[in-house]
Amino acid sequence: MSTLDEEDRREYYRIEDTIALEISPLSAHDAAGKDVLQDASPLFNLLSELHLSEFESQHLLRQVSERDRTLANYLKTLNKRIDLLGQVVAQTVLGKFGEPQRVTLSEGGIEFEHHLSYPAGTHLAVKLLLMPQALGLLLRAKVTHCETRSFGTFEIGTEFESLTDAQRQLLARYILQKQALERRQAREQNDPVAD
């Protein structure tokens, strides 16, 4: 993260990750809107809706689990099958993105390198495809800084705007799962099991 951005978003966990990412400037109308952004790709929108509906139904699954474990186990199995279908859709959507790239991601925003410069205050549509969960999110963001990195690339820091609670929770869950995986992998590398 840039030192200019040290005070921004310190309350959020941040991770380094490689994701599929598309950036496009928002019109003044879309930047001012509070509705969830929709993508031109129906597959990407379906992928987003799949995860949002799964998130919104988690509390119902917990209630069913308290009353009927067999039914809850069956529903969890169905959910796993739907997740697999979501991963198939994500692989199809991934083909329409460019190469995955390194980013710094938090609940508060995203920092990435880009071939175009966007001045601070510019409103962007940030389209994320987070793997392996096949989580597709289309979010509003405002540029907080833009610095020249190397010939033809710029480091752009953004903060997310107008996230729904479900979007924020999905992003937070992804970040926490990624951190847990990294800690587990670090432990395994530092403490290999002797054969």
Q: Give bridge partners of residue 16 from the DSSP assignment.
A: 104
CA 178 – CA 172 distance, rounded (Å): 10
The topology under which CATH files domain 14-189 is Thrombin, subunit H (2.40.10)
**Below-50 pLDDT ranges, the chain:** 1-9, 194-195
Torsion angle of C-alpha atoms 20, 105, 101, 3, degrees rounded to 10: 150
At 195 the pLDDT is: 47
What was the pLDDT predicted at 65? 86
pLDDT at res. 93:
74
Whole-model pTM: value is 0.76
pLDDT of residue 104: 94
Distance (Å, whole) CA 56 – CA 18 = 27
Query: Which of 51, 34, 64, 27 shows the shortest CA–CA distance to 129?
Result: 51
pLDDT for the residue 192: 66
Q: Are strands 135-148 and 123-130 parallel, antiparallel or unpaired?
A: antiparallel
